Amino acid sequence: MRTFDRYLLREILLPLFVGLGLFFVVVAFGQVLKISDSLTGLGVSGGRILEALLYSFPPLMGLLLPVSILFATLLGVGRFAADREVIGFASLGVSPYRLFKVPCLLGIIISMISCWAMVKGEPWGIRGLRNLMAFSAQEALAGGVRPGEFHEWVYGFTFRAEEKDGDDLKAILLADRRDADKPIVISSARGRILGGKNAQDLIFDLEDGTMLLTDAKKKASRKISFKEGQYRLNVGSLVGNKARTMRKIQEKTLGELWELSRHAPKEKHKRQAIILLHRKFALPLAAFIFTLLSVPLACTARGGSRARGFLFSTAIVGGYYYLGRAVELSARAGNFDPILAAWLPDIIGLVMAVILIVRFRRTWI
């Protein structure tokens, strides 16, 4: 690597790491706050927030790395152009096309890291975040019972305890009406609420109680007395409904997505799997495309390179994201080809890059 390349590399790496750190802090904390807000009343401790940040790192890297390399390249090359250093190197016989060498190499490396983050890191991170939220829900529900009040954590499920002494509850009433045709009512003298081994489970450990089973269709009921018993409540629906920033399909591996894209029982699930499968490769490729776009754009910034770099970054990322989101929603509804929806932003980005590179050649060569 020659002096020119090392010089340009230093100009790009510093804003790359600074931008990556800044973007991660802003986006990651924003996501954690969304999770915390969605679990209002379920409690997310300070330690759990740090754990959530750890799980957020791989999924966010797949998104933030392309944005960071775009910002860094526009800033680094833009400073070159603003200070007329490109003209100086050209006068020494250095082709302006050498400006593409370092950014493109970085773009390829960033694309590979981003691809790994999307393929391997995203399923691991999303799974960890959902389990973390479920365990937090377990702890909060188990410890947040207020004596004398009715609690409805899941629609159709009501719980009440008359007294509370530490973790011990007395005079318990539990009504499960989620199946309207077969409601269950349980009263118990004593009991505790425990978290199950499964992150989705909440266990009611009951003593000296009575269970009333009703079958509305048969117009029959049955009363059962018990000395000890356990009743399991799956809080997965509670976490799943509130975790709107994450989709369960994001937990799936490439193999699982491939199978779902071929054998999903519903067409909408098949389309969704196809889009996500292809986006795991299309989104990382954006890092390389962004470097192709950023070099000729940066060379147009004769003055105010930082401001222009930020504006160009915002416009490119915003256009890429909103175009991708629009065609993805259209593809999910069956109005657009799902494979094309995943790759369309990249295709348009490549076409724009070719146009800008041709104009760059006419300007500098």
The answer to whether 103 and 4 are in contact (CB under 8 A) is no
DSSP-based helix, strand, coil % in the chain, nearest 5: 65, 15, 20
| Residue 314, phi then psi, degrees to nearest 5 | -60, -45
Closest CA to 48 of 137, 109, 177, 113: 137
* Helical axes 46-82 vs 305-332, angle rounded to 10°: 120
Residue 60 has a pLDDT of 83
Q: Residue count of the chain, please give it.
A: 365
Strands (E), the chain: 150-151, 157-165, 168-176, 184-195, 201-215, 220-234
Residue 315 has a pLDDT of 84
Q: Residue 201's beta-bridge partner residues?
A: 234
Quick one: tokens of 235? 């809080």
Rg of the chain on CA atoms, in Å: 28
pLDDT in single tens digits along all 365 residues of the chain: 577 778 888 888 888 888 888 877 777 766 666 655 544 444 555 667 777 778 888 888 888 889 889 888 888 887 776 666 666 666 666 677 778 888 999 999 999 999 999 999 889 988 887 777 777 766 666 666 788 888 776 778 888 999 888 878 899 999 998 888 889 999 999 998 887 666 667 888 999 999 999 888 877 888 999 999 888 887 665 555 444 456 778 888 888 889 988 888 888 888 989 999 999 999 999 999 999 988 888 876 555 555 666 677 788 888 898 998 899 889 988 889 999 999 999 999 999 999 888 887 666 55
- Cα distances from 158 to residues 150, 163, 168, 229, 364, in angstroms, run 7, 16, 18, 18, 73
The answer to whether 336 and 269 are in contact (CB under 8 A) is no
Q: Residue 163's beta-bridge partner residues?
A: 170
| Cα–Cα distance for residue pair 277/137, rounded to 1 Å | 31
